[in-house]
A and B are shown apart, each in its own frame.
Chain A
């Protein structure tokens, strides 16, 4: 099986090293031409993301060491670069690619972005006519495997960031977020990220309140919401669905005394409160009120960590699936190589 992969990734290389070896999207066509110019390379494909730069080649390059390959391609390495490179051949290369596409080699296990990145890298290589029968089959198979691993295992399930955990919870409380009224108290970085997450999931009514009204207005404009003066935020409380707080107040600004009277007018509508401030903006006793759910940073962080742990446990199941597909691909490659051997024999000059 003359398929190989040379590369470096977040597992061994720091970001300073990765950025030196990264290949920009605009430079990919030229890089593919250079790669194919290396002796023995018949088919080529480059996957370059912020966490990895990998060169997939088909042809007679199995004798090259990773350091030699990088030297041939980059022409000039530092003495301490070598330990960061890896080289994988045959089944090892196929297995690695299937894991990469399935998100099992990612820094955040199970993330889906890598699938799209590999797909784009493949499209560029096809467009540049750098791939052939073997790499085409390998990458098409890898996309099939990636989808299957994600649908058959829980490797990509569960949110792993505080923001997405909060938005997922909101969706499990209210269903669609389009009709929800969301208020963001405090206009710092965390609030901004949270507001953007809600907007990305369809929230349309976002209100921003901050001690500095100008800052509130800026964030409101960015998220398509409305700014409210800090003195007025309590007036909007009666028909609110979700409250995000991240102010720098030294004590709780949302208390049972403030919330309990408002609840009587809300009927059976739940109230979801996300407190990402330290010290906390919401009195913990508010969580005890009927129909009110308060999640602070610790609660959200703990949920994100549990999801991450669950994803890691799913990796073994993903590997079992991948192993079957590696064998299938190997069989295909061996079968498809036989006619070529015959063809080569026919073309040999008579002895």
Chain B
């Protein structure tokens, strides 16, 4: 009886949790998108509840999968995408309420939904239990790097919202959407803080990567260093006030796109020469 229950729980704990999370994110984005663009009243608790439910599903999956594999569950591309989506939602839930950015959810939930569905489209999603002792540096490297990516994703979304607001103000004919998105100044501050948060975490991830003690794949390192230098450059330009806010927002989106392409790169490299 106990075995049956455990087996069924593990079965549910597998991809089904991610399906559930994807449903929640798609529903949240459909609801918030409809209310935003149709000018209807939005119940923020409903969106927040759906996002939180999706987050809980993802957390359950990661906890169960982590228990199965005996390490941080980032052993394949499916898990990597799930962890990235989870990190992004985690940061959204933490900063969303702090910065009056609840409407960031309109942009965050579709992206989280796409990541979850993309993860589900991956054929290799079985748990691969660890065969040798867990390397804590490797654990720290992967977790910090992916949570950093979550922060960069949100920075890119805040940048996108800034560009929308900026454009509306410049045309002098702002639509109803303008009055429902967060204030432009709040978006600038959020974008900046998310870039700093992501950069800090990414730096730690990069540094711990050198401590793993295994053979270093220099193609991955070079790719990561390029992304790190680009984000560093954006922040430096911001400190020196030598770059217009519009450009900072635009680059937040472009560099995140590059970062996403890095995932494909890592996947390709891993397929050619698996690390583990």
Give residues in A with beta carbon < 8 Å to B.
151-152, 154, 157-158, 168-169, 171-175, 264, 267-270, 287, 290-291, 293, 295, 299, 302-303, 306, 310
Q: Is the CB of A264 within 8 A of B241?
A: yes
Q: Is the CB of A268 within 8 A of B172?
A: no
B42 to chain A, nearest CB (A): 12
21 contacts between A and B (CB under 8 A): A154-B176, A157-B39, A158-B179, A172-B178, A172-B184, A174-B183, A175-B100, A264-B241, A267-B241, A268-B238, A268-B241, A268-B245, A270-B184, A287-B170, A290-B244, A290-B245, A293-B169, A302-B172, A303-B173, A303-B174, A310-B176
- Name the interface residues of B173-209: CB closer than 8 Å to any CB of A: 173-174, 176, 178-179, 182-186, 188, 192
Does B41 belong to the interface (CB within 8 Å)? yes
Give residues in B with beta carbon < 8 Å to A.
39, 41, 100, 165, 169-170, 172-174, 176, 178-179, 182-186, 188, 192, 238, 241, 244-246, 248
Task: Give the contacting residue for A171; candidates B41, B174, B183, B244; CB below 8 A.
Answer: B183
B44 to chain A, nearest CB (A): 14
Q: Is the CB of B169 within 8 A of A154?
A: no
The interface centre, meaning the residue of A151, A158, A175, A264 with most chain B CB atoms within 10 A of its CB, is: A175
Q: Is the CB of B183 within 8 A of A268?
A: no
Q: Is the CB of A290 within 8 A of B246?
A: yes
Q: Is the CB of A172 within 8 A of B238?
A: no
Classify the secondary structure of B's interface with A. helix
A47 CA to B14 CA, complexed, in Å: 65
Given A172-B178, A268-B188, are A151 and B41 neighbors across the interface (CB < 8 Å)? yes
Which residues on the A side are within 8 Å of B169 (C-beta)? 169, 173, 293
Q: Is the CB of A269 within 8 A of B185?
A: yes
Which residues on the A side are within 8 Å of B172 (C-beta)? 287, 295, 299, 302
Q: Is the CB of B170 within 8 A of A293?
A: yes
A306 CA to B192 CA, complexed, in Å: 34
In the complex formed, the residue of B with least CB distance to A293 is B169
Task: Give the contacting residue for B185; candidates A151, A174, A290, A303; CB below 8 A.
Answer: A174
A117 CA to B104 CA, complexed, in Å: 38
A293 CA to B170 CA, complexed, in Å: 7
A15 CA to B17 CA, complexed, in Å: 67
Which residues on the A side are within 8 Å of B185 (C-beta)? 173-175, 269-270
A167 to chain B, nearest CB (A): 12
A299 CA to B184 CA, complexed, in Å: 19
Task: Give the contacting residue for A302; candidates B173, B182, B183; CB below 8 A.
Answer: B173
Q: List 14 other contacts, CB 8 Å, given A175-B186, A268-B238, A310-B176.
A: A152-B41, A154-B176, A158-B179, A168-B179, A171-B183, A172-B178, A173-B183, A173-B185, A174-B184, A174-B185, A268-B241, A270-B185, A290-B244, A291-B244
Which residues on the A side are within 8 Å of B176 (C-beta)? 154, 157-158, 310
In the complex formed, the residue of A with least CB distance to B178 is A172
Which residues on the B side are within 8 Å of A168 (C-beta)? 179
Task: Give the contacting residue for B183; candidates A152, A157, A175; CB below 8 A.
Answer: A175
In the complex formed, the residue of B with least CB distance to A180 is B185
Which residues on the B side are within 8 Å of A303 (C-beta)? 173-174
B13 to chain A, nearest CB (A): 41
